[in-house]
């Protein structure tokens, strides 16, 4: 995926990784960048900032990715503004809940935003991409989707599901012109990492687990790794390379890995 002259849609684009992706895509020569977010004011602000450097390249809009109707409207509007979507970044996410006792409404929110939103977008885009013979789906999951997340069962479970869906898309359509990449960072300097428990934030224990595991990267650094991975056609995008080592240890000796995670958890609580 070379970004020059491509039409890109970025959900969760008002801040954090989404904002950095939108800005970097425009810098790479994208023909159009659609910045979508529940925070309409933020989405419009990011689009205006991109347009200040690259006139006419960006457009901001409100979108609740948990809504199938909003996803359809988003893609229709993006197509009307710039043409058919070449790259869709399912980047919006929430970190909510603690353990199995977390209320159903928070479990539902985590599944709706972190998983079902990806399904909604793929349902709309895959048929067109198959007809065109090209298209790219970028899923923002998390290192938690390859490992786990101490302190938040809903986050761990739904990020695993996001990775699984991205893998399934690649297996099913990878030989039919559709590229798939899955972004799995650890700590990134965003509102989700620093927020308190609630919509868009993680628990204090979960945040400490992330920040003690490795470096906290800037969103801009993550966007740079994404651009390189897209150019290389890589599925797994790891801004923190050590995640690959952690995942290998988990696969090689699950019992030892689980015991190590329990020790880490005991140090954090």
Residue-range definition of the domain harbouring residue 120: 7-268
- Residues 155, 165, 173, 257: which is the catalytic one? 155
Assigned domain for 115 exists? yes
Q: From CA 28, how far away is CA 236, in angstroms rounded?
A: 21
For the segment 182-209, the average pLDDT, to the nearest whole number, is: 71
Assigned domain for 202 exists? yes
Assigned domain for 140 exists? yes
Assigned domain for 16 exists? yes
Assigned domain for 1 exists? no
Q: What is the pLDDT of residue 197?
A: 39
Assigned domain for 249 exists? yes
Summarised one tens digit per residue, pLDDT across range 90-106 is 999 999 999 999 999 99
Per the CB < 8 A criterion, the answer to whether 48 and 72 are in contact is: no
Assigned domain for 2 exists? no
Q: What residues contact residue 260 under an 8 Å CB cut-off, 6+ apart?
A: none
Token pair listed for 200: 């868009």
Beta strands in the chain (DSSP E): 7-11, 32-37, 58-62, 87-90, 135-140, 178-183, 236-237
Give the global pTM.
0.93
Assigned domain for 189 exists? yes
- Tokens 């090689």 belong to residue: 252
To the query of whether residue 173 is one of the catalytic residues in this protein, the response is no
Token pair listed for 121: 């977008």
Number of domains in the chain: 1
Token pair listed for 222: 């993550």
CATH of the domain at 247: 3.40.50.720
Is residue 200 over pLDDT 70?
no
Q: Which helix (H) or strand (E) holds 266?
A: helix 254-268
């Amino acid at each position: 995926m070379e970004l020059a002259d491509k039409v890109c849609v970025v959900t969760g684009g008002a801040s954090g990784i989404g904002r950095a992706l939108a800005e970097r895509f425009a810098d790479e020569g994208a023909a159009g960048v659609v910045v979508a977010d529940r925070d309409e004011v933020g989405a419009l602000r990011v689009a205006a900032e991109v347009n200040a450097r690259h006139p006419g390249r960006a457009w901001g809009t409100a979108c609740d990715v948990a809504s199938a109707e909003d996803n359809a409207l988003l893609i229709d509007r993006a197509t009307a503004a710039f043409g058919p979507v070449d790259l869709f970044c399912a980047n919006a996410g929430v970190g909510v809940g603690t353990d199995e006792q977390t209320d159903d409404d928070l479990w539902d929110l985590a599944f709706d935003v972190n998983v079902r939103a990806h399904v909604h977008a793929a349902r709309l885009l895959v048929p067109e991409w198959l007809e065109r013979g090209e298209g790219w789906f970028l899923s923002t999951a998390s290192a938690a989707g390859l490992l786990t997340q101490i302190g938040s069962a809903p986050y761990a479970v739904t990020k695993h599901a996001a990775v699984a869906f991205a893998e399934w898309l690649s297996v099913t359509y990878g030989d039919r012109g559709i590229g798939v990449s899955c972004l799995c960072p650890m700590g990134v300097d965003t509102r989700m990492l620093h927020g308190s428990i609630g919509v868009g934030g993680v628990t204090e224990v979960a945040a400490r687990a992330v920040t003690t595991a490795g470096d906290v990267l800037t969103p801009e650094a993550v966007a740079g790794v994404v651009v390189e991975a897209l150019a290389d056609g890589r599925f797994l995008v790891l801004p923190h390379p050590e995640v690959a080592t952690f995942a290998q240890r988990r696969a090689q000796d699950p019992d030892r890995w689980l015991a190590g995670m329990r020790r880490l958890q005991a140090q954090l609580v």
